[in-house]
Structure 1
């Protein structure tokens, strides 16, 4: 399944129909979503029943996890499993919620079926920035508060009244809990990046309009579903644990917050244990914990993007390359020694001709696209038959 290509939602539906008793209860579903990192807003994994053909980016994992989360809530709340009805209800929900520049999307997608429109809407919902520059320079492009959509969808299925106001209230509580959790300890760069990530993910309120005076604690005492309260607690645990330690003040804050939320002590302890396990497993790959300079970040992100494009067009690239014997010779030669300036120019010109024939690689034709060519040349030998590179060492 490729979440970046059209038809992925229908593919998801065909896969989910084969899974029996996947959604037993809210607790099991919530734990599964927390395991993937979706609850924390850090999508590191996807559900086990989905096998990705290629390595997925974080925003692609987020798309899968969001749909998985929404469908699970739908089946548990309605006791129905019809995927077509779920699509219609989800599209209706986002339309009522008025997010993702819905009016603009409606104009663009006039005549498209509901599934195609929902794919576009999910894409705008997941990505904080959809421009090439944004995705190149900013490795944190995924909305970190997507689980709020799931909580809102649960509310919408039982009572669709005032759903927008509920969305504003949930974001208000989430951003206040995050702010005060971070304030319970000495801040570092990772804390600042986490705060920025959450603030940039707000949709219904503006973070700079909040005074963070602590009045939110009184509102936590109001009756809400347990899944909402567990989410708020897990967000707080994420904020205090990202430095991989828990000081006395932080522990006091978490247990005090859990008490205000009406959660039992074993649930609070379990939340702390789960975030500890999550960070031990993923701390080296969590985006907001990385501290690299702009040049390294640019190259890394560019490499990932080019690698993704190459792998997903490998068959077509191999076909095009097989028809250009001189290009294949020069690329295979480049794996053994440096090319002359004239040879490099030939490679560049012939590659651009190939890119013209593959629409998804049109990025190379943009002004400055030649910057990507060294990365492409570095990656392309992996696609060539081993006979072209006798000294290749397989890892």
Structure 2
């Protein structure tokens, strides 16, 4: 499955229908999403059933994990799997949430299939900027507050009224919690980048227009959603532990916050320990811990893009040539005996693939062809061989 190519949501639907690891309750789902880093806004894994031959980038993992979280929430509330109904529901959810602006939804609604429309919408939710240049220059390309979408969707399945107002409330509480968590410690450069990452990920409120004051505590004391409160506590633990230490003031802040949210000391310590374990295992993947200047950042971003394109297209070409060996065998066989209907169909399909490969190979061999080929795939997807389509659903 390739989350950067059209058709990935339909492919996801075909894979998740065959997945036997069904989440029995929200506790299991939340723990899984936290283990993958999605709750923390740092995506390191994707579910086993989505395993891909491709080396997925962080934003691609975020797309898969967001859809996994939304669908997992939907199936737990519905009590069964129904992917077509899920697509309709989650798309209506984002419409009612008024994500983006009118021009965005005009572009999305120009599609014919709900899954194709949702692909564009999720793409707009994952990226902080809708500009390829800004993505290249920014090391923070992925929305770190995507789990708020999941919390909102869970509420939406029960009560869709005033969903946007509730979204503003969740963002207000999250940004205030992180702000006060940062103020409980000595600040460093990674703290500033973490604050920038959270502020850039806000969708429903303007962080500059909302005061960082103590009023948020009154809202926390009245908040009754256990999963929203668990998310707030985990984000606070993430914020204070980014420097790999927990000082007295930080510990006091976390314990006081945990008590305000209704958790006992055992649960608070567990949240801290899980963040510690996550940092220990994935420290190199945490974007706000990287201290690089703009030139190195640009070089690193461009290198990753080019390397990813070359690696993916090389594997595709190798796969296409490997499949052609079977074609040679079948043609040789046809000279001495009749082929079965299935073999004749296979010869026909592979010959068509070979003919399609000619323009693909020509583009790939040009200077910079590895960069041009993904654009070619997007513009003329039907003229490419089957091995170039990771999102093809086998009938």
Q: Same fold (TM over 0.5)?
A: yes
When the two chains are superposed, the root-mean-square deviation of aligned CA atoms in Å is: 2.3
Distance 2:376 2:113 in 1: 27
Deviation, structure 1 residue 13 = 1.0
Stretch deviating more after TM superposition (159-168 or 132-141): 132-141
Distance 1:278 1:319 in 2: 36
Which 4+ stretches in 1 moved above 4 angstroms?
Answer: 315-320, 353-357
Stretch deviating more after TM superposition (105-114 or 234-243): 105-114
1:250 corresponds to: 250
- Normalized against structure 1, the TM-score is what? 0.81
2:159 corresponds to: 159
Stretch deviating more after TM superposition (219-228 or 97-106): 97-106
1:366 corresponds to: none
- What secondary structure is seen at the aligned counterpart in 2 of 1:38? coil
Distance 1:179 1:122 in 2: 27
Distance 2:202 2:176 in 1: 12
- Normalized against structure 2, the TM-score is what? 0.81
Deviation, structure 1 residue 48 = 2.2
Distance 2:119 2:186 in 1: 41
> What CA deviation, in whole Å up to 9, does each residue of 1:131-172 have, x standing for no partner?
222122111100000000000001100000000000000000
Change (3 A) 1:225 1:297: same
> What CA deviation, in whole Å up to 9, does each residue of 1:8-36 have, x standing for no partner?
11111111111235211111110100011
2:362 corresponds to: none
- What secondary structure is seen at the aligned counterpart in 2 of 1:42? coil
Alignment of 1:1-395 (within 5 A): 1-101=1-101, 103-107=103-107, 109-314=109-314, 351-352=366-367, 354=369, 358-360=373-375
Distance 1:188 1:194 in 2: 10
> What CA deviation, in whole Å up to 9, does each residue of 1:86-130 have, x standing for no partner?
111000100111113355333454242100000000000100123
State whether residues 309 and 360 of structure 1, in contact with CA within 8 Å, keep that contact through their aligned partners in structure 2: no
State whether residues 137 and 301 of structure 2, in contact with CA within 8 Å, keep that contact through their aligned partners in structure 1: yes
State whether residues 37 and 45 of structure 2, in contact with CA within 8 Å, keep that contact through their aligned partners in structure 1: yes
RCO (CA 8 Å, sep 6+): is it higher in 1 or 2?
2
Distance 1:188 1:254 in 2: 19
Change (3 A) 1:259 1:30: same
1:368 corresponds to: none
- What secondary structure is seen at the aligned counterpart in 2 of 1:99? coil
> What CA deviation, in whole Å up to 9, does each residue of 1:163-208 have, x standing for no partner?
0000000000000000000100000001100000000000000111
State whether residues 2 and 53 of structure 1, in contact with CA within 8 Å, keep that contact through their aligned partners in structure 2: no
State whether residues 168 and 204 of structure 2, in contact with CA within 8 Å, keep that contact through their aligned partners in structure 1: yes
- What secondary structure is seen at the aligned counterpart in 2 of 1:209? coil
1:347 corresponds to: none
Change (3 A) 1:102 1:317: farther
Deviation, structure 1 residue 316 = 6.5
Distance 1:357 1:207 in 2: 39
Deviation, structure 1 residue 355 = 6.0
Stretch deviating more after TM superposition (46-55 or 184-193): 46-55
Structure 1 residue ranges without an equivalent (≥5): 321-349, 363-395
- What secondary structure is seen at the aligned counterpart in 2 of 1:9? helix
Change (3 A) 1:162 1:295: same
